[in-house]
Structure 1
């Protein structure tokens, strides 16, 4: 699985960065940065981040084979 953020929806609220700081961060300009790939140990935090996004801009996509 990979993380995908819809940049058209995302308004950089940062709730995902609070829920899953290993995968999501706000840079010095307040813009969301994220890592598409993640370790399975972080899946619960990432699911919390998805649930916390007020604009539902975060999705999980299967890895392309």
Structure 2
């Protein structure tokens, strides 16, 4: 699976970063950076949690 970000929709709340800190982070400007866009195994659970907690639905998972 691949994590996709709708950048214009992202408001930088950071809940996704809390759910998946090994996969993504907010940079110094509050912009979300996807560090590991391709996920599987244990990372897939964290990616699903990040997608679920986004209050503006800026993240989604897509099949490769």
TM-score normalised by the chain length of structure 2: 0.87
In the TM superposition, structure 1's runs of 4+ consecutive aligned residues that sit over 4 Å from their partners are: none
User: Which whole-Å CA distance do the structure 2 matches of 1:25 and 1:59 have between them?
Assistant: 16
Gaps of 5+ in 1: none
Q: Which residue of 2 aligns with 1:24?
A: 24
Q: Please report the RMSD computed on the Cα atoms of aligned residues, expressed in angstroms.
A: 1.1
TM-score normalised by the chain length of structure 1: 0.86
Give the total of aligned pairs.
63
Please identify the structure whose Cα radius of gyration is greater.
1
**Other structure's SS at 1:17 match:** helix
1:10 maps onto 2:31 in alignment: no
Gaps of 5+ in 2: none
